[in-house]
């Protein structure tokens, strides 16, 4: 179960986290979680390059280690990176000390002040420790590209129907997301550019 549009009550639960940026400007923020992987990240980067826009990649440490050339490409092409833990840990099922150490391991690679908890959830005790060192980035549009039961067409609809000024949009560069990202990402970008949105990094 997941919500495409982040509801108000979730934002109240995590008030120090960033769910969206200013609603007064027609800027939006594309983000990609879980990579980099050779099966999809190059497609994402090629698409972004085609449209001359930048995005923010929340990378998993072990994937950076496996694919350092892709991580370097993300950086060299002017994109932002963030920390998504070293092993894509579920914070609410992980001891605090182990979770924080896993983030530190990823931080050695990303050297970023941005952190997004996998699954968008972590214990309040973990977040309390993290707020002093990181900007905790959540989202207000979850495309559902990871959902194997979701059609590519519905993934596209999720993205374009829920985006507004300041939206932080989540796609994934992971194996499960491939057919939906390959279909929906270029069409989402083209549609939002036609609506005069500007793409920024976090």
Instruction: Give the torsion sign (CA, 151, 157, 162, 163).
Output: positive
Round to whole Å and give the CA distance between 177 and 152: 10
Question: Would you call 33 a catalytic residue per the annotation?
Answer: yes
Residue 84 among the catalytic residues: no
Q: Give me the catalytic one of 33, 140, 145, 173.
A: 33
Q: What's the CA dihedral at 7, 8, 12, 17 to 10 degrees?
A: 60
Q: Out of 79, 84, 172, 173, which one is annotated catalytic?
A: 172
Under DSSP, is residue 103 helix (H, G, I), strand (E, B) or coil? helix
* 3-class SS of residue 141: strand
Tell me: cis bond preceding 91? Omega within 30 of 0 counts. no
Residues classed as catalytic = 33, 172
């Amino acid at each position: 179960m997941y919500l495409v549009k982040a509801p108000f009550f979730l934002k109240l639960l995590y008030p120090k986290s960033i769910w969206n940026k200013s609603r007064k400007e027609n800027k939006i923020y594309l983000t990609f979680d879980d990579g980099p992987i050779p099966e999809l990240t190059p497609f994402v980067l090629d698409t972004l390059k085609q449209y001359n826009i930048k995005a923010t990649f929340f990378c998993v440490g072990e994937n950076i280690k496996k694919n350092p050339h892709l991580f370097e490409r993300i950086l060299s092409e002017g994109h932002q990176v963030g920390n998504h833990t070293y092993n894509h840990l579920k914070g609410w099922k992980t001891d605090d000390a182990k979770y924080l150490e896993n983030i530190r391991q990823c931080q050695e690679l990303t050297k970023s002040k941005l952190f997004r908890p996998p699954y968008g959830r972590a214990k309040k005790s973990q977040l309390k420790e993290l707020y002093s060192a990181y900007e905790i980035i959540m989202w207000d549009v979850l495309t559902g590209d990871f959902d194997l039961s979701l059609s590519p067409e519905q993934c596209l609809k999720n993205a374009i129907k829920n985006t507004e000024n300041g939206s932080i949009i989540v796609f994934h560069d992971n194996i499960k997301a491939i057919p939906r990202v390959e279909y929906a990402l270029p069409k989402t970008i083209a549609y939002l550019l036609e609506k005069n949105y500007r793409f920024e990094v976090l």
